[in-house]
Amino acid sequence: MEQKSVEEFVASAALLGAHLTRQCESACAQLHDLSVSLSRAMDEGQSRLAASARDALRESMATELPAALQVLGQGTRQLHAMIERARVEQAALERRARWMGLKAVAVALVGALAAVAGSGYVAAINVARSREATVRLEVIKALDEVTITSCDGRPCIKLADGLRRWERNDHYVLVDSDPPPELQPR
């Protein structure tokens, strides 16, 4: 994986994390708005219920008291049902907001793990390239000690005079394979 694709992936993960964060914030705002409107509705419902009860009580104090109590009981049951529905909806919104928060954290964690894995992969490739470069440098230095040419159409090699020879066969020249001190690993 190239560094550019890793950076694009990390940028995409960051955008996704930001998007999920905005969704969480939006859900929280909706939850707050719902809570405010529920409070208003409850206040209005209580006001309406109180006004309705007063009116009904005045009109039917003597003759329709049982009917007024029945209407009042129905209103109370409806108000309790509305409150219970609002609690259920609020709990569902809270669960959804938590779930979206967990997803955002998971996406950020996956993005961070991918970035670490990508960095490790790129570092391993760079170490391998460094080793290859060291070998190539040794070959180039060895080639500096000889001249390769053509002698009557056949390849031939001219060795520099004064090179250290192999003691078993002086036709061979020893090549120092140790890298110079400036190229040795520290």
pLDDT on residue 121 = 92
What distance in Å separates the CA atoms of residue 85 and residue 49, rounded to the nearest whole number?
A: 19
| Element of type H or E holding 137 | helix 65-144
Q: Where are the domains of the chain?
A: 3-134, 143-183
pLDDT on residue 19 = 86
What distance in Å separates the CA atoms of residue 155 and residue 169, rounded to the nearest whole number?
A: 21
More confident: 26 or 63: 26
What single-letter DSSP state applies at residue 181?
G
Backbone angles phi, psi at 167, to 5 degrees: -70, -25
Percent of the chain with pLDDT over 90: 1
- Asked if residues 38 and 89 have their Cβ atoms less than 8 Å apart, the reply is no
Which residue type occupies 108?
Answer: A
Task: Identify which of 138, 160, 136 has the alpha carbon closest to the alpha carbon of residue 148.
Answer: 160
32-59 pLDDT tens trace: 888 888 888 888 888 887 888 787 667 6
What are the CB-based long-range contacts (under 8 Å, 24+) for 98-107? 100/20, 100/23, 100/24, 100/27, 101/24, 103/20, 104/17, 104/20, 104/21, 104/24, 107/13, 107/16, 107/17, 107/20
- 14 has a pLDDT exceeding 70: yes
Least confident segment among 7-11, 55-59, 116-120, 135-139: 55-59
For the entire predicted model, the pTM comes to: 0.34
| Element of type H or E holding 130 | helix 65-144
What distance in Å separates the CA atoms of residue 171 and residue 168, rounded to the nearest whole number?
A: 9
70-127 pLDDT tens trace: 878 888 888 888 888 988 988 888 888 888 888 888 888 888 888 888 888 998 998 8
Q: How confident is the model at residue 161 (pLDDT cuts 50, 70, 90)?
A: low
